[in-house]
Each structure stands twice: as structure tokens, then as C-alpha cells.
């Protein structure tokens, strides 16, 4: 564990967004914040960043992953010209590096993921297109690290945050794992043990409730169960996926927050 001041600087601690996400979000606050950040990054990539020399250099070299290409393409009030201008210079740089790219596998210089040993963070093998690197993924990872660090800083220093978090549904499984990996930088061994205990009991309770809701959801597809009340089961599939894998389905979290 390091001094609080140096950690604050190293991680660029910013507690307000984490507090806001906890207050306003219905599910995992870190997922809600990640998604909100992702939407903002896409907006920025199509806006000011198109003309910013620094971000153009990065985009020219690295480009965007498939998921973020889709988000750029489908962005509300889209900017096809901005997207096309970025892709034009990325295409030109890719052409100039073609022989090297064929030898090294991907614009990021990494070997094509499908044939690389090891797995990605989500546990599945990466496809070659995913391993190509993405400026938005890189920025999003950096911001997510900052959110997790700010969460742990709040947990250690703010009793009101601890109390509010304990009343909430808690973080999803991947974010719980990420927080525990980062926890030694912020919490003493005793604090880590307490924090881990809370995460485990919160997750155990959340997964048990999801199991019952998802089971009800499947029962409702049987015509003999039309009289069975839905209870909380209507969005059980989305909530189960989001809690096990991180938010990716259903209503956009923090959509109306700016």
C-alpha cells in the first residue's frame, strides 16, 4: 500500500462520477460509468478529435475495433464524413505498412490473436480483428482503471459511500474481480479481507435472486404458466448477462445523465 497522495496522482482519482453512478444507476455502477464514458468517447472521436493532430496520429496507426466501428457508424446524429476522413488516413497508413503488417499480424504489431497463446481478459480467445488494437478501447481501459481506483479510494475514505454501496445491488462479477486485483494498492490486508467478504456476500445474494428471476422467466414461456405472475422476471435475462459479464444488454445505463 502506498501513500494516499501519490496514489491519488498516479490514478487521477476523481470521486464525483463514481458517487453519481452509484446514486443514479440501477445495476453495477462501474459498468454504468464505463458505458457512459464509452458513449462520450465515441461522440468525441466523431467531433473535436477528428481535427486534433494528436488523436489523428493515434487513429491513423491503430484504428478502431469492430465494436467501436459499429458505434461510430451508428452514432446518433452520425458524422459519416468524420468517420470516413479518419478511415481514409488509417487506410493510407495501413497501406504503407502492409508488408510489415502481414509479418507481424495486426496494426498494433501484435500477433494475430486467434493463434496467439493465452486468452483475453474475458476468458475467450481473441479473433485477429479484435487483436488489431483500438484507440477507443485503450482510452476506455484507462478510464475504467481510474474509476475502479476512485471507487477504492472512496471505499477507504468515505463512510457515507461505504454505507450507500452496501445498500446497492453491488458491482458485477468482472468488476468485482477487477476491484480485488487493484485493492492491495488502496486497502490494508484487513480492509481487503472485509471488502472481499462484502463483495462475495453481495454477489452471492445477487446471483441467487437472478437465478430465481431467470428461472421464472423460462417458466413463463410455457403456456401452462400464463397465470403465473411475472414478478421481477421480465428483464431477468438482461440483468443476468450484465451481472455475469458486465453491462452489454438492455436499457442504456445513465443514458440521461450528462
Based on the shown chain and the rule CB under 5 A, indicate whether residue 87 belongs to the binding site for Zn ion. Answer: no
Smallest distance, Zn ion to C-beta of residue 34, A: 7
Closer CB to Zn ion, 1 or 138, in the complex: 138
Q: Measured from the CB of residue 6, what is the shortest distance to Zn ion in angstroms?
A: 27
Other C-beta atoms within 10 Å of 253: how many?
21
Verify binding: residue 86, Zn ion, rule CB under 5 A: no
* 136 sits near Zn ion (criterion: CB under 5 A): yes
Q: Which residue blocks in the chain are alpha helix, DSSP H?
A: 4-11, 15-24, 29-46, 53-62, 66-74, 80-96, 98-104, 135-157, 159-167, 173-182, 189-219, 236-245
Q: Is 23 left (phi over 0), alpha (psi -120 to 50) or beta?
A: alpha
Q: What is the largest CA-CA distance in the chain?
A: 65
Sole binder of Zn ion in the list 28, 72, 149, 178 (CB under 5 A): 28
Number of residues lying near Zn ion (CB under 5 A): 11
Comparing CB distances to Zn ion, the nearer of 216 and 246 is 246
| Contacting residue, 18, 152, 172, 187, with Zn ion by CB under 5 A | 172
Contacts within 8 Å (CB) and 24+ apart, 213-221: 213/239, 213/240, 214/240
Which of these ranges, 77-85, 108-116, 167-175, 192-200, lies near Zn ion under the rule CB under 5 A?
A: 167-175
* Near Zn ion by CB under 5 A: residue from 13, 21, 22, 31: 31
| Residue 22 C-beta: closest distance to Zn ion, Å | 12
CA distance 22 to 196: 19
- Which residues of the chain form contacts with Zn ion (CB under 5 A)? 28, 30-31, 65, 68, 134, 136-137, 172, 175, 246
Amino acid at each position: 500500500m502506498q501513500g494516499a497522495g501519490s496514489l491519488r496522482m498516479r490514478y487521477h482519482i476523481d470521486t464525483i462520477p463514481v458517487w453519481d453512478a452509484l446514486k443514479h444507476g440501477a445495476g453495477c455502477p462501474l459498468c454504468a460509468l464505463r458505458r457512459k464514458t464509452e458513449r462520450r468517447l465515441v461522440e468525441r472521436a466523431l467531433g473535436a478529435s477528428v481535427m486534433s493532430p494528436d488523436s489523428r496520429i493515434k487513429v491513423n496507426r491503430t484504428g478502431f475495433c469492430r465494436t467501436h466501428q459499429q458505434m461510430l457508424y451508428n452514432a446518433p446524429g452520425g458524422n459519416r464524413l468524420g468517420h470516413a476522413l479518419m478511415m481514409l488516413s488509417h487506410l493510407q497508413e495501413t497501406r504503407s505498412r502492409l508488408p510489415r503488417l502481414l509479418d507481424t499480424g495486426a496494426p498494433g504489431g501484435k500477433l494475430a490473436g486467434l493463434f496467439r497463446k493465452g486468452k483475453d481478459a474475458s476468458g475467450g480467445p481473441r479473433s485477429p480483428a479484435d487483436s488489431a488494437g483500438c484507440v477507443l478501447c485503450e482510452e476506455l481501459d484507462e478510464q475504467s482503471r481510474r474509476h475502479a481506483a476512485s471507487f477504492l479510494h472512496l471505499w477507504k475514505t468515505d463512510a457515507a459511500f461505504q454505507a450507500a454501496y452496501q445498500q446497492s445491488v453491488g458491482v458485477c462479477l468482472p468488476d468485482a474481480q477487477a476491484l480485488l486485483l487493484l485493492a492491495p494498492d488502496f486497502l490494508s490486508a484487513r480492509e481487503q479481507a472485509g471488502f472481499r467478504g462484502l463483495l462475495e456476500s453481495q454477489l452471492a445474494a445477487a446471483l441467487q435472486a437472478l437465478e430465481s428471476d431467470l428461472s421464472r422467466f423460462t417458466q413463463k414461456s410455457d403456456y401452462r404458466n400464463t397465470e403465473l405472475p411475472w414478478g421481477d422476471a421480465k428483464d431477468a435475462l438482461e440483468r443476468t448477462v450484465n451481472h455475469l459479464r458486465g453491462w452489454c444488454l438492455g436499457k442504456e445505463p445513465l443514458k440521461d445523465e450528462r
